[in-house]
Amino acid sequence: MTQLRIALVQMNIEAGNTEANFAKMEQKLEEAAALEPKPDLIVLPEMWNTGYALKEIRKLADPDGERTKKLVSEFCRRHGVNVLAGSIAQLRGEGVTNTIHAFDRTGANIAEYSKIHLFQLMNEHLHLEAGGAAGSFELEGVPAAAMICYDIRFPELARKLALGGAKLLIVPAEWPHPRLHHWRTLLQARAIENQMFVVSCNTVGESGGSSFFGHSMVIDPWGEVVAEAEERETILVADIDLALVDEVRGRIPVFADRRPELYE
């Protein structure tokens, strides 16, 4: 399968209000599944269950992600769609991780990735535990990968995922004002240098004392913006043809021309 219709759920998150956030998540998933034609993949933003209520995160986090996994898995089975369930604050033992779960059309949990790079400016490192592995997986036969928000500032991670075969990079985020220029530039750079599609789902509105600008984006392997949301709640839909990845990689053979022996 090379052609995918993707729906990005750009929504406001109420920091600390897990019940309101779960209710909105379920509502938005239903809205996305009701679109015609139905999307193949629905993507949610970062930390949608809690927002950045970091001082309360241990009591707010979803224990082992069980509530999220049960709800999203059942939704996928019922509607026959794939969902990358953004990321959630997930309680693991005594610690909390910022974790992605991805589900296929049957409801199977096909991938899990916890944010590797913690953003010290928001004190993530004081309240969250970093993940220890990259987020590669397969989506309906397509090599794919996931990163979370601050991860996109680390090009070596994106290159590792591309060298592993990823043609589609999915990025849930809570990326705030005033760094819109950084957001757009970094996402386009990751697409151009790795010659892959980049799909990024941001949040929007006021949450936890920060203002988020939205601008969820779908970017093709040339770095061209296929679709971009505005600064409001919306479901952004884009159709992509993953065959373009092989075409671009064939026309400009970046990977074949690498000199990794000189990079260390």
Where in the sequence numbering do the catalytic residues fall?
46, 115, 149
Please tell me the distance from the alpha carbon of residue 236 to that of residue 242, in angstroms, as a whole number: 18
Judge whether 219 and 226 are in contact, CB under 8 Å.
yes
Rounded CA gap, 41 and 260, in Å? 34
Q: Output the six-digit token pair for 129.
A: 């535990």
d(CA 236, CA 234): 6
Residue 72 backbone dihedrals phi, psi, to 5 degrees: -75, -40
Which H or E run includes 145? strand 142-146
| Farthest CA pair distance, the chain | 52
Report which of 116, 102, 98 is spatially closest to residue 50, judged by C-alpha positions.
98
**Beta bridge mates, 36:** none
